[in-house]
Structure formats: C-alpha cells, structure tokens
Amino acid sequence: DGFIDFLEFIAAINLVIRGKIDQKLKWYFKLYDADGNGCIDKKELLSIFTAIQAINGHTNMSAEEFTNMIFQKIDVNNDGELTLEEFINGVESDEDLMELITKNFDLSNVLKVIQSGRRHSI
C-alpha cells in the first residue's frame, strides 16, 4: 500500500538477520526494484546502493563501481535490466558476489544505531 507498518518492518528486519539466503536475495531484489516492475535497472540499483552505503559507511567500492560490476557479472542477456531469476542465479553462482552483497547489505549497523537512539531516548 506504499507504507510500512511496524509489523512489516519487524518482519523485514527479521528476514535480513535470520532468513535463508534465497529469502534474503528475494527481499534484496524487491528492495532494489523501486518501481515494482519486476526488473532492476542500473538507476534503481545505484540509488538503493548509494543510500545503503551512506548508512553502513562501506567505502571500499563506489556506488557506480558496485552497480557496474553487478550488471557486468549477472545481466546475462545484456538488456540493462535484472530479472529476479538473473539476480538470484547470478548472485548464488558467484561466491565473491554473494559475499560482497551480504557484507554491503548487512543492516546490523542500522540496528545498532536504532537501539542506541532508543536507549538514549528512554
């Protein structure tokens, strides 16, 4: 409906922390597919990765480098869009890419900030 209620938020955090890898990849795909058309284009991935990079502080690779690398590795038909199947198959078949995505989209730092802020406000 365009809004995230508390229950949806908790379910998403739980999935990211405790979910199986295929569940996490589906969630990441939905996160990247900002317009909900069933494909991720470079603009969507760049936008989301830039935001997450700002939160997590990972700077070993620029958002542009990350986006280009992802598309170079897993856009098998070179159409400039990633389907869910391309995304999951591409990430699962490349151990380095799996590690990179897992590391860069680890939201534990975000949870620490939320918990820290909550403790200070109590």
What is the domain-level CATH number for residue 33? Answer: 1.10.238.10
Q: Is 81 a member of any domain?
A: yes
Decide if 5 is inside a domain: no
Report whether pLDDT(83) > 90. yes
Residue 1 lies in a domain: no
Domain range spanning residue 47? 20-118
What is the separation, in whole angstroms, between the first and last Cα of the chain? Answer: 32
For residue range 28-81, what is the model confidence (pLDDT) as tens digits? 888 889 899 999 999 998 998 888 777 766 667 888 998 999 999 999 899 999
Q: Which residues pair with 119 in a beta bridge?
A: none
Question: pTM of this prediction?
Answer: 0.72
Residue 3 φ then ψ, to 5°: -130, 150
Look at residues 89, 71, 79 and name the one whose alpha carbon lies nearest to residue 25.
89
Give domain status of residue 11, yes or no.
no
Number of folded domains in the chain?
1
Asked whether residue 110 is assigned to any structural domain, the reply reads yes
Q: Is residue 68 part of a domain?
A: yes
Is residue 74, in this structure, part of any structural domain at all?
A: yes
